[in-house]
Copies of this chain bind each other. A is one copy, B any other.
Amino acid sequence: VTAVPAGEFEVIARIQQRLRGEGGSDAALRAPEAGEVFSGDDTAVVSPGPSDRLLLAIDLVVEDVHVDLALASLADMGWKAVSVNASDIAAMGGRPLHVVVGVAAPPSTDLDAITDGMVEACAAYGIALVGGDLTGGRNVVISVAITGTCDGRPPVLRSGARPGDVIWVTGPLGASAAGLALLQGPGGLDSAGDTDARVAAYRRPVARVAEGIAAATAGATAMIDVSDGLSRDLDHIARQSGVGIRLESLPVVEGATAAEALGGGEDYELVFTASVDAGVAEAFRAAGLRAPIEIGTCSDDGEERTLQGQPLAVTGWEHRFGAASA
Identify A7's interface contact among B7, B59, B318, CB under 8 A. Answer: B318
B132 touches A58 (CB 8 A): yes
- Does residue A23 face the partner (Cβ distance < 8 Å to B)? no
A148 touches B43 (CB 8 A): yes
How far apart sit A36 and B51, CA to CA, in the bound complex (Å)?
A: 13
How far apart sit A269 and B62, CA to CA, in the bound complex (Å)?
A: 32
A138 touches B57 (CB 8 A): no
Docked complex: A10-53 residues within 8 A CB-CB of B = 11, 35-37, 40-48, 52-53
- Does residue A89 face the partner (Cβ distance < 8 Å to B)? yes
- Residue from A56, A138, A148 whose CB has the most chain B CB atoms within 10 Å: A56
- Contact A66 to B325, CB < 8 A, known contacts A59-B102, A92-B45, A100-B145: no
- Residue from A5, A42, A92, A146 whose CB has the most chain B CB atoms within 10 Å: A42
| Interface bits A97-128 vs B (CB < 8 Å: 1, else 0) | 01011111101111111000000000000000
B111 touches A321 (CB 8 A): yes
How far apart sit A46 and B4, CA to CA, in the bound complex (Å)?
A: 43
- Residue from A37, A40, A108, A141 whose CB has the most chain B CB atoms within 10 Å: A141
- Contact A158 to B325, CB < 8 A, known contacts A58-B145, A131-B58: no
Identify A136's interface contact among B62, B109, B326, CB under 8 A. Answer: B62
Q: How far apart are A111's CB and chain B's nearest CB, in angstroms? A: 6
- Does residue A309 face the partner (Cβ distance < 8 Å to B)? no
Contact size class for A?
Answer: 35 or more
Identify A130's interface contact among B56, B131, B134, B158, CB under 8 A. Answer: B56
| Interface bits A287-322 vs B (CB < 8 Å: 1, else 0) | 000000000000000000000000000000011111
Listed A/B pairs (7) with beta-carbon separation below 8 Å: A3-B323, A4-B323, A11-B323, A42-B91, A56-B147, A62-B137, A141-B141
Identify A57's interface contact among B44, B89, B143, B224, CB under 8 A. Answer: B44
How far apart sit A323 and B56, CA to CA, in the bound complex (Å)?
A: 32
Q: Chain B residues near A147: list those with CB within 8 A.
A: 54, 56, 147
How far apart sit A240 and B42, CA to CA, in the bound complex (Å)?
A: 12
Identify A35's interface contact among B53, B100, B102, CB under 8 A. Answer: B53
